[in-house]
Amino acid sequence: MSSPRNLSGKTAIVTGSSRGIGAGIAIDLANRGANVVVNYTSPRGEVAAAGIFKDIEATGSKCAVVQANLALTPDLQKLVDAALAISEHGKIDILVHNAGTGDDSYLADLTEEFYEDQMNVNLKAPIFLTKLALPHIAQGGRIVMITSVSARMGIPQQTVYAGTKAALEGICKVWATELGKKHGITVNCVSPGPVATDMWTECEPDVIAELQPAIDATPAAARVGEVSDIVPIVAFLCSEESRWVTGSVLAFAPFARAMHIRSIPMWTGSSDNYAYLVIDDKTKDAVIIDPANPEEVAPVLKEQISSGKINLTAIVNTHHHWDHAGGNNKLLAHPEFEGKPIIGGKDCEGVTKTPKNGEGFKIGDIAVKALYTPCHTQDSICWFMEDSTGRVVFTGDTLFHGGCGRFFEGSAEEMNTALNKTLVSIPDDTKVYPGHEYTKANVKFAISVLQSEPVKKLHSFAENNKETQGKFTIGDEKQHNVFMRMDDPVIQKATGKTDPIDVMAKLREMKNNFKPPPDQKL
Ligand SMILES: [Zn+2]
């Protein structure tokens, strides 16, 4: 799709434009006819910037590539000079402050050097680059600052980053007033959530985990943004049509979500269990699912309770096995949790309440429903939970990503009912939270039976992610879980059976006897 040439004859500076969002903006502005100064800082940006230069020249626009360390004020002048050199009318029309560094640090670990590095690039550079450029900015000029929803979200480890981004959003309003009436310049911020760039992939895993609920609650779509989502918004703010928009922050902030899920890995490296803390954000009511190892779970719960983040209302169990329900009494022995009800199947340790099949309870605004799935144990219950923004199911040892539990207390017929009659009938967009991190092993077996695209995708996801819980839905399981594909001709052929119960029985037997080749590669 070709862009309108609505910026013909304009000159733009885009900081940090050798990669990521900045590169996308620089190329888009050029496509619209603007001459563009592309900026990079480090040697690794040089090759990338040369690529952007080629892309821009191909559009017929002029391009200047400038190495400038934005933390150094003298370097900022280089950008202004380069812009004036390629300008067709001796003026600069568009200034996009995109460069930013986003390293994470807890307050306790924060050094002055870390603070200054980020402040210089994220805050000082936009201020002084604008000051230097101002005498040269044309009447009707455009200033766009790329900020972040981090400015307002309270994400841990982002003291400096959030501070700089929030500061820019404040400055945006000051400049809208100062530069508006006098110079006809508009000043706006574009404030994305996580965008799929290399800066995002370099984030610490715990930061990404903190952001997952926000990603899930992004109103436009429950995914990380793409550069191509952000670029057209910047283009609009650089256009003549945006003349009435100034001092605005276009934020793609998530709506408040009622349901938060926090995974607590237990016995990592041996049995790889998960306990899950489910929190209703509005009331702070929360339950803990399968807290089988209190040594790993109690400190998290105590921290959440003492900081006022949760009001723990119950322990919930998926089945009676010790590595799921065996920590109940030990947990309740802590004075903080004394007397909490235990909701689960009839054989769970210390159980006080067993809802009937299809019945449930509430966690604040979250509706919880018990789905009986006897087989792995006779008291296995999958917990389906729903609020206005999403659905999840906690499947214990009945359903795993790409697999199912062993038939310890039940038959193939019961597992077929659990997976292919009960769980299959909940909505496809329900996220699955299993009781163990078994995906890697499950997919090795799955791929020995069915080499389909969905199975290969699960394989590569499991190879690249230590934790996979909650990353797949019931709809995904129908595609990549061989135990939910009894009608698949490939699986029927592999098992030599056609009746769903026979296929289930044979498939489970094959899995029980399966020895994966070491370090299997596709
Ligand atoms: Zn079990």
DSSP assignment of 12-23 equals EEESS-SSHHHH
Note if 319 is an active site residue.
yes
Question: Which residues hold their Cβ within 5 A of ligand 1, which is an ion?
Answer: 321, 397
Supply the DSSP symbol for 158.
B
CA distance 510 to 18: 52
Domains 11-251 and 259-512 share a fold: no
Q: Which of 323, 379, 387, 476 does the annotation list as catalytic?
A: 323
Distance 196 CA to ligand 1 centre (A): 37
The CA 183 to ligand 1 mean position distance, Å, reads 69
Q: How many C-beta atoms surround the C-beta of residue 346 within 10 A?
A: 10
Residues 6 or more apart whose Cβ sits within 8 Å of residue 303: none
Q: For residue 31, how far is its CA from the centre of ligand 1 (angstroms)?
A: 58
Q: How many angstroms separate the CA atoms of 186 and 179, rounded?
A: 7
Ligand 1 center–CA 205 separation, angstroms: 28
Question: Of 324, 401, 459, 480, which one is the catalytic site residue?
Answer: 324
397 carries an active-site annotation? yes
Q: What backbone phi and psi angles, to 5 degrees, belong to 395? A: -105, 5
Distance 318 CA to ligand 1 centre (A): 9
- Model pLDDT, residue 417: 98
Q: In what order do the strands lie in the sheet with 285-289?
A: 259-266, 273-280, 285-289, 311-316, 342-343
What is the reported pLDDT for 335?
A: 94
pLDDT at 219: 77
User: In this predicted structure, what is the pLDDT of residue 253?
Assistant: 66
Comparing CA positions, the residue from 85, 103, 74, 82 lying closest to residue 14 is 82
Q: Spell out a b/e string for 28-56, using b for 16 or more CB atoms within 10 Å of the CB, else e.
A: bbbbbbbbbbbbbbeeebeebbeebbeeb
Identify the CATH number of the domain defined by range 11-251: 3.40.50.720
- Separation of CA 396 and ligand 1 centre (Å): 7
Q: What is the pLDDT of residue 257?
A: 62
Are 169 and 151 within 8 A, CB to CB?
yes
Catalytic residue among 260, 376, 401, 480: 376
**CA 325 to ligand 1 center in whole angstroms:** 9
Q: Which residues pair with 385 in a beta bridge?
A: 368, 392
Q: Is 480 a catalytic residue?
A: no
**Alpha carbon of 468 to ligand 1 centroid (Å):** 19
- Distance, CA 408 to ligand 1 centroid (Å)? 8
**CA–CA distance, 66 with 99 (Å, rounded to integer):** 13
Q: Show the tokens assigned to 91.
A: 């003026």
Whether residue 323 lies in the annotated active site? yes
According to the model, what pLDDT value does residue 292 have?
A: 98
**Which among 384, 425, 405 is positioned nearest to 504, based on CA atoms?**
405
How far does residue 370's CA lie from ligand 1's centre (Å)? 17
- Tell me, in angstroms, the distance from the centre of ligand 1 to residue 323's CA: 7
Query: How far apart are the CA of 411 and the centre of ligand 1, in A?
Result: 15
Task: Find the catalytic residue in 260, 321, 401, 480.
Answer: 321
Would the pTM of this model clear 0.85, i.e. be above it?
Answer: no
Q: What are the average pLDDT values for consecutive 10-residue runs of the chain, which has 522 residues?
A: 85 96 97 97 90 96 96 95 97 97 89 96 97 96 94 85 96 96 94 82 74 75 88 96 95 72 95 96 93 97 91 97 97 95 97 96 94 98 91 97 97 98 96 97 95 96 93 97 98 97 97 79 44
* Both tokens assigned to 78: 């280089």
Contact 449, 504 (CB under 8 A): no
Q: Where are the domains of the chain?
A: 11-251, 259-512
Cα-based distances in Å from 14 to 39, 52, 87, 101, 233: 7, 12, 14, 15, 15
pLDDT at 208: 75
CATH number of 259-512: 3.60.15.10
Å from CA of 192 to ligand 1 middle: 42
Q: Which residues are within 8 A (CB) of 233 and not within 5 positions of it... i.e. 6 or more apart?
A: 190, 250
Rounded to 5 degrees, what are φ and ψ at 328? -55, -55
